[in-house]
Amino acid sequence: MPPIIPDPPPPDEADLAIGRHIADLVEDGSTIQLGIGNIPNAVGKCLMGKKDLGIHTEMLTDSMMELCESGTVTNRKKTLIPGKTVCAFAFGTQALYDWVNNNVSVLFLKGEWVNDSTVVRRNSKMVSINTCMMVDMTGQVFSEGIGTSQFSGTGGQFDFAMGAREGYDKKGKSIIACRSTAKGGTQSTIVPMPPPGTPVTLHRGVTDYIATEYGTAWLRGRTVKERAQSLIAIAHPDFREQLKEEAEKCGYL
């Protein structure tokens, strides 16, 4: 049976804007994990030109292959298995599958080890980059479903977020990205609170950064008021006044 080959559309300007904001947070010498979708692919493009990045990720994608081929990823600065791109599986084009075939620089290991937060934390300057469907004004992240409708699973998002935050060198970062609107721009993805039944993927206590095309919000250690203000500032301009009014009603502001 031939491998599955996805055919996603190229990242648009909103995806690339998010990618640029996230790239600004990634220091040279960091070890990265990227999730799936157009935004992580855009992040990969925007990371071009960084120096000595490493990879420790559940899924290996074309954007990571391109980072390796460009010399952006060298894996030299990794503290866990230096010199190797570590992953659990690859998912992408035939070019990616051909590239990983017999490639001694890529190390495939069991997902239960790759995704273990106590393993992830052993990477210096670990940066976890994932996406979500919705964020509330306190920093809770919803990546699996809306209300009682299930769209996805948790994947390795929680594991990598925890591993990055708990990095032994205290220089790790957990970044969650999402576009500021959904359903053709008719709904804000930043909300006062989610619909009843929406599963929480990341507790607000383990959320570091939220990024949209309008900027990034730093949440770790901040009050509910500070979180609400920061998240409203990166919401779509069409929804900011409404969100401010709703935040005041909820007692967040």
| Residues assigned a catalytic role | 58
Residue with tokens 């010498």: 29
Pairing of the two strands 173-177 and 209-212: parallel
Residue with tokens 């804000």: 188
Residue with tokens 């006062």: 192
User: In angstroms, rounded to a whole number, what is the distance separating the alpha carbons of residues 119 and 101?
Assistant: 25
User: In angstroms, rounded to a whole number, what is the distance separating the alpha carbons of residues 40 and 113?
Assistant: 22
